Every structure is written in structure tokens, then in C-alpha cells.
Structure 1
Amino acid sequence: MSLDFISQKEVLNYIQQGDAAVIDIRDRELFQKGHIPGAFSMPYDSFDEKAPILRRYGTIILCCERGATSLLLGRRLSESGYRILSIGGGMEAWRGPVV
């Protein structure tokens, strides 16, 4: 499969179309302070135990704080057959809506 970077505009399009799951891998405290609307919280430290639910989605969009952790996890997931998109720069670069 593949691992690609995705722009903010593209993330919003995927969210509107319902074509992907946005997975926020930051810790729960950071997630609760603000996250992309519709994102699921799956902290990196406990990600593997929840990962099987991702099989129902064709595309997974990963988001972390700065982009590095989602890149590492994305590479691993893409090797397992997932189509992964990573938000370049993570939440620090995100300028879209936050809930």
C-alpha cells in the first residue's frame, strides 16, 4: 500500500465525503484540548490494541503533534496493507476547524 502526505484542504474533503477515518494518535489530554472534527482518539502508546477496528476503513488519515510520529506509524501500517495519509506538520500546522 502507500503512505502519502495530505493537505488540510484534502483532509476536510475526506471528512465531508466520509471516505476515511481521521485518527489522532496524540495522548488523550492533547486530544481533549482540541482536535480535528470527527477524529478518533487512538493514542500511539495504546494504538496496537485498537488497530483492528481500522480494517473497516479504506483510507486512514493519521494526525499527531508535529507529523513525525504519524509518519513512523504510517510506514508500519502501510506495510500491513493499509492506505495511509499523514497530515504534514501535524496539529501544529493545522489551521482548519478544531473542536
Structure 2
Amino acid sequence: MVLEVDIEAFAAARERGALVVDVREGFEFAAGHVPGARWIPLGMLAESLADLPRGRAVMVICASGNRSKAGAVLLTRAGFDVASVQGGVAAWSLSGRDLTVRTS
């Protein structure tokens, strides 16, 4: 079972230094993402485990929460302290928080 957190718990974890991993596709990430999020598409997450810090909370986010659950399962099985963000980037944006848009 994967831990899921709502937007308020996610925002608090992010402020405490949790790593935010966005598992959406590149065009989605470029269109708008949580500031400071690290982009690792879900299909590349398994091969990117060595690049993720151990001993730091990881919050996995996607568009609405479905892909992030899959990513959180993978990371949980690999021994990470991880949670999936309910509602994803859509919920983040709907809560009135800013998104970063990649312009290049």
C-alpha cells in the first residue's frame, strides 16, 4: 500500500525539504510544474533510482494522482520514504499555488 497525501500535507512536506518528483511526460512538465520539481518520466523512474537521494522524503506527483501512485509503489519497493500526491498538479494549481513553466 502506498501512502497518499493531500495538497496541504504535500505543501508542508515540500517546505520541509522533501524532494518532488514529477513523473509526467515532458510536454506536461514543460506546460507547468510545481516549482523545484525534478522531472523523471514514469517510464524512466526505475532506471533513475541511483540518482535519487536516500534518507530524504520523496513526493511523487503527476497530473491527477494515478501515475504518481505507480511511481510511489516502485520507490516504496526500492526502500524510499515516499508518498503519492492526491490530485496531482491539477490540485496544486486549483489550490491557488504557482506553477513554473519551462520556456526553452
- TM-score normalised per structure 1: 0.84
**Alignment pair present for 1:12 and 2:18:** no
- Structure 2: any 5+ residue segments left out of the alignment? none
Partner of 1:91: 89
Q: In proportion to residue count, which structure has more helix? A: 1
Aligned residues: 97
Q: Match for 1:14: what amino acid?
A: A
More strand per residue: 1
Which whole-Å deviations, capped at 9, do the CAs of 1:41-80 have from their partners, x for residues lacking one?
1111222222212133521100011211111221122122
| Moved >6 Å (runs of 4+) | none
Alignment match, 2:35: 37
Aligned equivalents of 1:13 and 1:48: distance in 2? 26
- List alignment gaps of at least 5 residues for structure 1: none
What value does the CA root-mean-square deviation take over the aligned residues?
1.7
Q: TM-score, normalised by structure 2?
A: 0.81
% same residue? 26
